[in-house]
A and B are shown apart, each in its own frame.
Chain A
Amino acid sequence: MDAVFLSRLQFGAAAFFHFLFVPLTLGLSILVAIMETKYVRTGDEDYKRMAKFWGKLFLINFAIGIVTGITLEFQFGTNWANYSKYVGDVFGSLLAIEATLAFFLESTFIAVWVFGWNKLSAKAHAACIWVVAIASNVSAYWILSANAWMQHPVGYTIRNGRAELVDFFSLITQKFAVLSFLHTVSGAYILAGFFVMGVSAYHLLRKKEVEFFKKSFRIALTFALIFSVFEVVQGHLNGAEVAKAQPTKLAAMEAHWETEKGAPIAMFVIPDEKNERNRVEIGKIPGALSMLAYHNTTAAVVGLKDFPKDERPPVLINFLAFRTMVGLGFLFMLLTVIGWFRRNKLEDSPRFLKIMLYAIPLPYIAIEAGWMLTEIGRQPWIVYGLMKTSDAVSPIAASQVLVSLVAFVVVYTALGIVDFYLLFKYARKGPEVAA
């Protein structure tokens, strides 16, 4: 095992873990803000209890998202020094602006929100959680612009032996950045919606605080429904953009080997990477891949075989990750549509509630699958078409990375267990009794 492999594993583990917590932060902050705004508008104490109950779960989750984000920023330097040297002029500013513009705001105002219930007016207090919600989402925009640049580098020129910035504006306005942002935050909103619906379902099934959880469920349902529908439509645009910007990723996620016109999508495939073909292909829809990629059933889609072997990403994992993400995406739309028709008779729909309870992990799986496709599908490049991952690593001993990798796994596993234990504990406990 070399430093490249271990560093990839370490960054992957750290990013994977970080993103178990960030989506709930992004979505739940908005839901809590909506609840507290309703409290300010109506004066209904139930909404205040709601903001407090969901806010507590938000905070338990928030802390880990924050502390694990720091290690990601610093790993570009510790493990990917050659990357940082080569592209830092372009890439570094995005991370620095994220910290100055957004991270400060969310970290400062979350404390004001926590400690300010009795100190601030109701309106000012609600404004604090909006600041946190907006800052978290703005933060996501900068981070995703940085990632989008790794997926599709723009606005730079090669000068002085490195990539140098020539057009800052294009980094943050390029289509890839906008689409990744919309796709990622929508996924996060779906996740938060399903989280609130699932926890509410748990209590509704036990007939505890029925009014409280019905209200919570409905707010989350509306939110999740909007973004589940949006995500399916928007995801299609993402696919088309990947086809244009990253043809190797498209080919790998579809296990598409031969260049052909009117390329099909098969429902079930067993890829055989060694022999550069698919062992089994069932349920082909002719022209579907061409349609997906180029909005034209007869367009030619380049197959993996037409790319040099050392420029192809692994097939099976991307293929599975893509199918998992898309399949779950459609399921979320289905479940939220069903929910919409049952929204006024939730307590009479125990089976639906049970499904929603057990659906809590599904958006997590979908989001992590999406990131696996994004990152592994970009391989062997760290910056698509510009720099290979193998050239990006720091000049450090593999043994050192192995030690830190083990430390990451041990510490993060322990923290993850504690955090999920607390989330379960407080989710089950339910809100404080109304005064």
Chain B
Amino acid sequence: MLLNIWFFLWGLLWAVYFMLDGFDLGLGTLLPVLAKDDNERRVIYNAMGPFWDGNEVWVITAGGVTFAAFPTTYAVMFSSLYAALLIILFALILRGVTFEFRNKVDKPFWRAVWDWCLVVGSFVPALLFGVAFANIFKGIPIDQNGVYHGTLFTLLNPYGLIGGLLFLFLFLVHGSIWLSVKTEGEMHDRGLSMAKKLWPVLLVIAVVFLGTTKYYTHLYDNYFQKPVLFVIPLITVIALLATRYFVGKGSEWKAWFASSVTIVTATFFGIAGLYPNLFPSSIDPSYSLTIFNSSSSPLTLKIMLGVALALVPVVIIYQAWVYKAFGHKLTEEDLAYDEAY
């Protein structure tokens, strides 16, 4: 029971991270497309301004919880995905410092350099998180000692790349919608029309992903054993359609929530299929790391559960308050504010 709860929480933390930082990563990637001049670029930075840092902590917590609850998985997952993970971390570093550095020197060249850091620092994690998770769904070539037999390029197989594109486009749509949430007028319309343009591509990738998943992975085994699980991808599909519907109606907040549900349930589609594996081996299923053979002791799990149940709701409450306090549309006054990005 304890192990199942932790498996669920582990998936939830990743899902929440993708939902929250997803729009930052998507919007950052689209910076050159969505903004035409420096003022518009500043709008995009400030649309993410008060949120991105708090969003990023969810990935640190997801990592920390993997370490605390499933230390063997943490060890093998992170050392196997060494190159991919470090590239993601370097990208997130560039993305993070860009917010602080960009507005500190008023020169076009300086700003252009940091703008590119934002684009690269957003695009790379969006893609690689998808590649990494698709590979985990598919199985990783690890032996009985948790030693990885492959390279960075092993991960760049067709299914891994489809997963990468899926995450990328989920985040691009999510980020475009967020821009319209935070703006009025031209930028607002541009965000929605970008979401409209990207949506059919996302739909195609999602269909291809769902189909190829049958071919490349064992995720559906759990679904056929417990058909009730099909509710999860069903919600994903409905939410994805709802996203397009609300985008068409110009209800950006509703579209953003629909897109959030899409991302969370898409993550859980994979997580539910993975159970009870956390890090399956493609060499031999018996080498797979599961919640049973890679978890912490019951005492640690109980203490951590107490901590999580006490603190995570509090985190959600104050972060929700921040979204409420700063979720309004940006105005000229906001951009003239002397601490604005």
Q: Spell out A's residues near B (CB within 8 Å).
A: 59-60, 62-64, 66-71, 73-74, 76-79, 81-85, 87-93, 95-101, 103-105, 107-112, 114-119, 159-160, 164-166, 168, 394-396, 400, 403-404, 407, 411, 415, 418-419, 422, 425-426, 432
Whether B273 is near chain A, meaning CB under 8 Å from some CB there, is no
Whether B64 is near chain A, meaning CB under 8 Å from some CB there, is yes
Report the Cα distance A90→B67, complex, angstroms.
Answer: 10
Contacting pair A108 B304 (CB below 8 A):
no
Contacting pair B86 A96 (CB below 8 A):
no
Determine the chain A residues whose CB is within 8 A of the CB of B99 once the complex forms. 63
Knowing A110-B53, A111-B49, A407-B90, the reply to whether A78 touches B63 (Cβ < 8 A) is no
Report the Cα distance A156→B311, complex, angstroms.
Answer: 25
- Identify which of residues 271-314 in chain B touch chain A, using a CB-to-CB cut-off of 8 Å: 296-297, 299-300, 303-304, 307-308, 311-312
10 residue pairs, one from A and one from B, having the closest CB atoms? A88-B71, A77-B78, A96-B64, A92-B67, A63-B100, A81-B75, A394-B79, A92-B68, A96-B68, A84-B75
Q: Spell out B's residues near A (CB within 8 Å).
A: 49-51, 53-54, 56-57, 59-61, 63-69, 71-72, 74-79, 82-83, 85-86, 89-90, 92-94, 96-97, 99-101, 104-105, 145-148, 296-297, 299-300, 303-304, 307-308, 311-312, 315, 318-319, 322, 325-326, 337-340
Q: Please name the residue on chain B nearest to A60 by beta carbon.
A: B100
Interchain nearest-CB distance for B62 vs A (Å): 9
Determine the chain B residues whose CB is within 8 A of the CB of A394 once the complex forms. 75, 79, 82
Contacting pair A77 B79 (CB below 8 A):
yes
In this complex, the member of A114, A419, A425 whose beta carbon has the largest number of chain B beta carbons within 10 angstroms is: A114
Report the Cα distance A43→B86, complex, angstroms.
Answer: 48
Determine the chain B residues whose CB is within 8 A of the CB of A73 once the complex forms. 60, 63-64, 67
Contacting pair B67 A84 (CB below 8 A):
yes
Knowing A66-B96, A70-B92, the reply to whether A164 touches B101 (Cβ < 8 A) is no
Prevailing SS type, chain B contact patch: helix
Determine the chain A residues whose CB is within 8 A of the CB of B66 once the complex forms. 77
Knowing A82-B75, A100-B61, A396-B79, the reply to whether A88 touches B145 (Cβ < 8 A) is no
Report the Cα distance A88→B65, complex, angstroms.
Answer: 11
Determine the chain A residues whose CB is within 8 A of the CB of B104 once the complex forms. 60, 422, 425-426
Report the Cα distance A73→B60, complex, angstroms.
Answer: 8
Contacting pair A93 B304 (CB below 8 A):
yes
Report the Cα distance A64→B76, complex, angstroms.
Answer: 28
Knowing A84-B71, A111-B54, the reply to whether A95 touches B300 (Cβ < 8 A) is no
Determine the chain A residues whose CB is within 8 A of the CB of B64 once the complex forms. 73, 92, 95-100
**Apart from A96-B61, A96-B69, A404-B83: 8 A-B pairs, beta carbons within 8 A:** A70-B59, A103-B57, A103-B60, A104-B54, A111-B54, A164-B300, A404-B82, A404-B86
Knowing A96-B61, A415-B97, the reply to whether A89 touches B300 (Cβ < 8 A) is yes
Determine the chain A residues whose CB is within 8 A of the CB of B93 once the complex forms. 67-68, 70-71, 411, 415
Contacting pair A88 B97 (CB below 8 A):
no
Interchain nearest-CB distance for A429 vs B (Å): 11
Report the Cα distance A227→B49, complex, angstroms.
Answer: 35
Prevailing SS type, chain A contact patch: helix
Can you spell out 24 A-B residue pairs with CB atoms less than 8 angstroms apart? Answer: A63-B96, A63-B100, A66-B96, A69-B60, A70-B92, A73-B63, A85-B75, A85-B146, A92-B69, A93-B300, A93-B303, A96-B69, A99-B64, A100-B307, A101-B307, A108-B318, A111-B54, A111-B326, A115-B326, A166-B299, A168-B303, A395-B147, A395-B148, A419-B97
Report the Cα distance A100→B92, complex, angstroms.
Answer: 19
Contacting pair A92 B83 (CB below 8 A):
no
Contacting pair B74 A88 (CB below 8 A):
yes
Report the Cα distance A432→B90, complex, angstroms.
Answer: 34
Interchain nearest-CB distance for A402 vs B (Å): 12
Interchain nearest-CB distance for B127 vs A (Å): 18
Determine the chain A residues whose CB is within 8 A of the CB of B71 once the complex forms. 84-85, 87-89, 92
Report the Cα distance A66→B325, complex, angstroms.
Answer: 24
- Checking A67, A78, A105 against B82 with a beta-carbon cut-off of 8 angstroms, the contacting residue is A78
Interchain nearest-CB distance for A40 vs B (Å): 18
- Checking B83, B89, B308, B339 against A400 with a beta-carbon cut-off of 8 angstroms, the contacting residue is B83
Report the Cα distance A415→B60, complex, angstroms.
Answer: 21
Report the Cα distance A118→B92, complex, angstroms.
Answer: 30
Report the Cα distance A112→B320, complex, angstroms.
Answer: 12
Knowing A100-B61, A104-B57, A411-B93, the reply to whether A168 touches B74 (Cβ < 8 A) is no
Determine the chain A residues whose CB is within 8 A of the CB of B65 once the complex forms. 96
Contacting pair A76 B57 (CB below 8 A):
no
Report the Cα distance A112→B300, complex, angstroms.
Answer: 34
Q: Please name the residue on chain A nearest to B318 by beta carbon.
A: A108
Interchain nearest-CB distance for A61 vs B (Å): 9
Report the Cα distance A81→B308, complex, angstroms.
Answer: 24
Contacting pair A88 B299 (CB below 8 A):
no
Report the Cα distance A383→B211, complex, angstroms.
Answer: 48
- Checking B53, B78, B322 against A81 with a beta-carbon cut-off of 8 angstroms, the contacting residue is B78
Interchain nearest-CB distance for A135 vs B (Å): 11
Determine the chain A residues whose CB is within 8 A of the CB of B77 once the complex forms. 77
Interchain nearest-CB distance for B123 vs A (Å): 17
Report the Cα distance A58→B16, complex, angstroms.
Answer: 29
Determine the chain A residues whose CB is within 8 A of the CB of B297 once the complex forms. 89, 159-160, 164-165
Q: Please name the residue on chain A nearest to B83 by beta carbon.
A: A400
Determine the chain A residues whose CB is within 8 A of the CB of B75 once the complex forms. 77, 81-85, 88, 394
Contacting pair B54 A107 (CB below 8 A):
yes
Interchain nearest-CB distance for B23 vs A (Å): 15
Q: Please name the residue on chain B nearest to A84 by beta carbon.
A: B75
